[in-house]
Chain A
Amino acid sequence: MTYLIQGRTNDWEVVIGLEVHAQIISDAKLFSGAATSFGAEPNSQVSLVDAGMPGMLPVINEFCIQQAVRTGLGLDAKINLHSVFERKNYFYPDLPQGYQISQYLHPIVGEGTVRLDMPDGTREIGVERLHMEQDAGKSIHDQDPNRTFIDLNRSGVALMEIVSKPDLRSPEEAGAYLRKLRAIVQYLGTCDGNMEQGSLRCDANVSVRPSDSDELRTRAEIKNINSIRFVMQAIEYEAERQVDVYETGGSVVQETRLYDSDRGETRSMRSKEDAHDYRYFPDPDLLPIDLTPEYVEEIEKNLPELPDAKKVRFISEYGVTESDAGILVAEQETANYFEEVALGRDAKLAANWVIHELFGVLNKVGKGISDSPIVADKLGNLVDLISNNVISSRIAKDVFEEMVAKGKDPGVIVEEKGLKQITDAGEIEIAVNNVIADNADQVKKFREGNQKVVGWFVGQVMKKTQGKANPQMVNELLLEKLKG
């Protein structure tokens, strides 16, 4: 299912590479002891180092190195035992040192792979590298007509920049890549993946080429896109724009562009027009990072089960379908939730309830699984009630709604409302007898050969029992009685 843009002259293929900035989960910053939590008072999480005071020096946070290595391992990537911090020099008011400490020629992580499950099969997307760097502060432009305000709380927070190879070929693949990458770092506990709070930000390098060509044409870099949906929209817009440029005889310029989500378009950032020359050189305030193979092995030993492995296990261990397994492992919390529900129960039934009923509700109320109104334990109880024939699947849906509304245990709801399935043959027989007695004409139709009326009879019996009668028993008894 190749994504092609049909132009006037020919079909165009889009070539996408993504640079993702993922904030490393750590208590303190990359090179200082200031805190990293989101939403603190302006300039309160700023040390003298983060403010770029004269004579202040960086000292690396050991845990951030671990986190970067862990992420690299999670991306099946090569860990570079020797890596070097360099200074990327440029002026910006939220960059207090006048340079960003980053890694350039010698990143901590080399090439890796991210596997995507696309409708037409698995796609392997190359990771070019992962390096550590400092975040900048925040410039606030809307507080004053003449001035920009600067908050340095983010200044010096640890980031991983994860650069993909230009292997992505459609907005959908870009979206899938981001979701997968987010899942991996969340599983690893190295980044919370929160795009709204800026813990995960994405720059997209986009170019197009005639579909029969494999050249790499000039790309535009779309900066700082803050949701997966916008990344996909921005790519789509930008690719079409470039096709249009080529087809009207123009040429694409290498430039930085901004995605305007209100207008659904990308536009050139003129202010960044003067070419950057970052004058990288190794930071003389720091030494190279030299890791031992043992150090890396130790981290590798303690890696959690990642989405791909978990998916395989869900299929084999729980017998869920491949597509259900894919959905369940997409987020670690979902996977954990599912496993809690499925453990020792009918796993397929559990998957069904999580994917269809629970997700339906979560979507409706706009909540994530971590603040689900129904905890896994209670959903498990509901599955038990169904499996043990205490309630029917139909009744279960009512109970589920009640659970969402009141947060009660399903057993309690069933008890209070008397929703227990009627499995007493005598009780059902009375209802069946009554229905048959009251509807002689329908009985006649059946006996004349109209099988369809059976369904109607079942409905009537269920109605009489407020839906509580065991449907299978009703069916059997009805057939027996109707046949006389």
Chain B
Amino acid sequence: MRRLFSLKNSSQHNQPIYDLTSFRLNDFLLVCAAGIPNEQPRKNFEKLSEMVLDEATVRKIAKLARIKVPENEVPTLAEELSKIIEWIEQLNEVDTENVTPMTSMAEMVMPKRADKVTDGNYPDRVLSNAPDPEGPFYTVPKVVE
């Protein structure tokens, strides 16, 4: 086994873990980004067939996001999204018990506007791009309540 690389100064051990002889640069970077496991290897990439995001979930989130996904595309999508989610899950190896989540980028007091009417009164501009306007209204297919 030839040692190809290690991530310097991460808390990782320096012994080679993968047989990477056949890896190309891109594969290497993929693994790099996927994170090198500490003690035992993570799931093999082949194992991704145990999908974290199954087809029912794909249908559910497609519905939630109001995106039509043709039925024949569901399995592929489930596989793709699962791969991404599995890859993301490497974050679990970081202990974040006492870390405060970042809430905003800007370290400043939120700016505020005065209670003054300074805008509006231009229905034409508001409606100028509407796909199916009717008089001063936008329209959508009838909503049944």
Q: Determine whether A and B are in direct contact in the complex, meaning some CB atoms lie less than 8 angstroms apart.
A: yes
Residue ranges of A at the interface with B (Cβ–Cβ < 8 Å): 26-28, 32-35, 41-51, 59-65, 84, 91, 93, 139-141, 143-152, 258, 269, 271, 274, 277, 279, 282, 284, 286-290
Interface flag for B17 (CB, 8 Å): no
Q: Are A45 and B120 in contact (CB under 8 A)?
A: yes
Would you call B26 an interface residue if the criterion is a C-beta within 8 Å of the partner chain's C-beta atoms? no
How many residue pairs link A and B with beta carbons under 8 A? The number is 140
Knowing A27-B115, A287-B109, A290-B109 touch, does A47 contact B120 (C-beta < 8 A)?
Answer: yes
Q: B134 near A: Cβ within 8 Å?
A: yes
Q: Which residues of B contact A141 (CB under 8 A)?
A: 142-143, 145
- Does A144 contact B134, Cβ atoms closer than 8 Å? yes
Q: Are B143 and A288 in contact (CB under 8 A)?
A: no
A41 / chain B contacts, CB cutoff of 8 Å = 123, 136
A150 near B104 (CB under 8 angstroms)?
A: no
Question: Is B113's beta carbon under 8 Å from chain A?
Answer: yes
A290 touches B110 (CB 8 A): yes
Question: Quick one: given A139-B143, A287-B109, are A282 and B103 in contact (CB under 8 Å)?
Answer: yes
A46→B109 contact, CB < 8 A: no
Residues on B with beta carbons closer than 8 Å to the beta carbon of A282: 103-104
Cβ contact within 8 Å between B112 and A65: yes
Asked whether, in the complex, the Cβ of A287 is within 8 Å of the Cβ of B140, the reply is no
Q: Answer whether residue B24 sits at the interface, using C-beta atoms and an 8 A cutoff.
A: no
Task: Find B112's partner among A47, A61, A144, A147 (CB 8 Å cutoff).
Answer: A61
Residues of B near A35 (CB, < 8 A) are: 117, 120-121
12 CB contacts below 8 A, A to B, read A28-B117, A33-B119, A46-B126, A47-B119, A65-B112, A93-B140, A140-B137, A141-B142, A141-B143, A146-B142, A148-B141, A284-B105
Q: Report the minimal beta-carbon distance from B88 to chain A, rounded to whole angstroms.
A: 16
Q: Is the CB of B123 within 8 A of A43?
A: yes
Q: Residue on B with the closest CB to A54?
A: B129
The distance from the CB of A306 to the nearest CB of chain B, in whole angstroms, is: 23
B127 touches A62 (CB 8 A): no
Candidates A26, A93, A147, A274; contact of B63 at CB < 8 Å: A274
**What are the residues of chain A within 8 A of B118 when measuring CB–CB?**
28, 33
| Given contacts A51-B126, A148-B142, A274-B63, A42 and B137 within 8 Å (CB-CB) | yes
Contact between chains at A150 and B117 (CB < 8 Å)? no
A49-B119, A271-B144 are known; give 16 further A-B pairs, CB within 8 A. A34-B120, A41-B136, A42-B123, A42-B136, A46-B126, A50-B120, A60-B111, A62-B113, A62-B115, A65-B112, A93-B143, A141-B145, A143-B134, A150-B140, A271-B145, A282-B104
Query: Is B94 part of the binding interface, using a Cβ–Cβ cutoff of 8 Å?
Result: no
Residues of A within 8 Å of B145, CB to CB, are 141, 258, 269, 271
Return chain A residues, CB-CB under 8 Å to B137. Answer: 42-43, 140, 143, 149-151
Contacts of B135 in A (CB 8 A): 42
Contact B116 A146 (CB under 8 A): no
Q: Which residues of B contact A146 (CB under 8 A)?
A: 141-142
If the complex has contacts A43-B123, A149-B139, A288-B110, are A33 and B117 also in contact, measured as CB distance less than 8 A?
Answer: yes
- Let me know if B18 is at the binding interface, CB within 8 A: no
Q: Which residues of A contact B1 (CB under 8 A)?
A: none
Question: Do B117 and A27 have beta carbons less than 8 Å apart?
Answer: yes
Q: How far is B110's CA from A65's CA once the two chains are assembled, in angstroms?
A: 12
A60, B110: Cβ atoms closer than 8 Å: yes
Assembly CA distance A263 to B12 (angstroms): 70
Q: Determine whether the beta carbon of A44 is less than 8 Å from that of B116.
A: no
**Contacts A93-B140, A139-B143, A141-B143 given; does A59 touch B123 at CB 8 Å:** no
Q: Which residue of A lies closest to B137 (CB)?
A: A149
Q: Which residue of chain B is the closest to A274 with respect to CB atoms?
A: B63
Q: Which residues from chain A contact B114 at a C-beta distance below 8 Å?
A: 61-63
- Residues on B with beta carbons closer than 8 Å to the beta carbon of A284: 104-105
CB distance from B36 to the nearest CB of A (A): 30
Q: Which A residue's beta carbon lies closest to that of B135?
A: A42
- Whose C-beta in chain B lies nearest to the C-beta of A84? B103
CB of B132, distance to nearest CB on chain A (Å): 8
B2 at the interface (CB under 8 A from A): no
How distant is the Cα of A149 from the Cα of B127 in the complex, in angstroms?
13
Residues of B within 8 A of A152 (CB): 126, 138
Interfacial chain B residues near A274, Cβ < 8 Å: 63
